[in-house]
């Protein structure tokens, strides 16, 4: 893995593309429940706590103090069979590191209990690239949402259940901060067109390969 893909110092008020995959590239999402549990933890950690409690009124007290919504915002995500992508904005020092530690620990504990396994589930250190300008921010959002199309799981990203793309197009209330991306477009349809115009991933690869994390 190139050193450029291992960011060690995360800045305040900065955007990052985060990626991690299963150990030995193994699948880490095996059924619908697995996806839902991962998204549950994203919600619990990144939605403002009052909103979390509206969705999950019986949320265990121990999880109240793990809420990081003031420290980190999520703009986009996609869960693939053996890896996940997150587009994050760090608002305070160590916010992203805390989030990834909580997220991977909680999900690994769930997964190991369910499938009666032991040991780590994802690769030791997550990969990260700092997003340096608005153009790259938009491209990475599109890149993340096109992952299941590139992998030939679906033909249209709207048909993939385990990403934030549908949240964007249906303007759902969720833990996703869509405004930072959508403010660059005149309408939801315009963002949809931005994504679909590059559904042939190969055409876009040359523009974003230097910030791809999967090599």
Contacts (Cβ under 8 Å, ≥6 apart) of 211: 17, 129, 131, 136, 140
pLDDT at 61 over 90: yes
pLDDT band at 124 (very low <50, low <70, confident <90, very high): confident
> Rounded to two decimals, what is the model's pTM?
0.90
pLDDT in tens, 95-115: 999 999 999 999 999 999 999
Q: Is the pLDDT of residue 203 over 50?
A: no
Query: How high is the mean pLDDT of the chain?
Result: 90
Place 171 in a pLDDT band, splitting at 50, 70 and 90. Answer: confident
Q: What is the pLDDT of residue 199?
A: 80
Helical H segments across 77-187, by residue range: 95-115, 134-150, 165-169, 179-182
Long-range contacts (CB closer than 8 Å, 24 or more residues apart) made by 116-124? 119/23, 120/23, 121/22, 121/23, 121/28, 122/20, 122/21, 122/22, 122/23, 122/28, 123/20, 123/21, 123/22, 123/23
- Pick among 3.50.50.60, 3.40.920.10, 3.30.70.1290, 3.60.70.12: CATH of 8-208: 3.30.70.1290
């Amino acid at each position: 893995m190139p050193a450029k893909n291992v960011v060690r110092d995360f800045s305040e008020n900065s955007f990052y593309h985060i990626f991690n995959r299963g150990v030995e590239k193994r699948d880490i999402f095996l059924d619908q429940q697995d996806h839902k549990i991962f998204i549950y933890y994203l919600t619990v950690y990144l939605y403002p706590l009052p909103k979390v409690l509206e969705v999950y009124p019986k949320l265990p007290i121990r999880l109240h103090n793990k809420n990081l919504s003031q420290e980190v915002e999520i703009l986009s995500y996609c869960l693939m069979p053996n890896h996940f992508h997150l587009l994050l904005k760090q608002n305070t020092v160590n916010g992203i590191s805390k989030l990834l530690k909580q997220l991977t620990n909680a999900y690994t504990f769930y997964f190991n209990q369910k499938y009666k396994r032991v040991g780590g589930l994802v690769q030791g250190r997550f990969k990260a690239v700092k997003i340096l300008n608005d153009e790259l921010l938009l491209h990475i959002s599109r890149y993340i949402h096109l992952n299941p199309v590139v992998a030939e799981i679906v033909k249209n990203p709207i048909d993939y259940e385990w990403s934030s793309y549908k949240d964007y197009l249906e303007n759902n209330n969720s833990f996703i901060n869509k405004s930072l991306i959508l403010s660059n477009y005149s309408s939801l349809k315009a963002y949809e067109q931005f994504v679909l115009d590059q559904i042939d991933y190969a055409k876009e690869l040359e523009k974003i390969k230097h910030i791809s994390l999967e090599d």
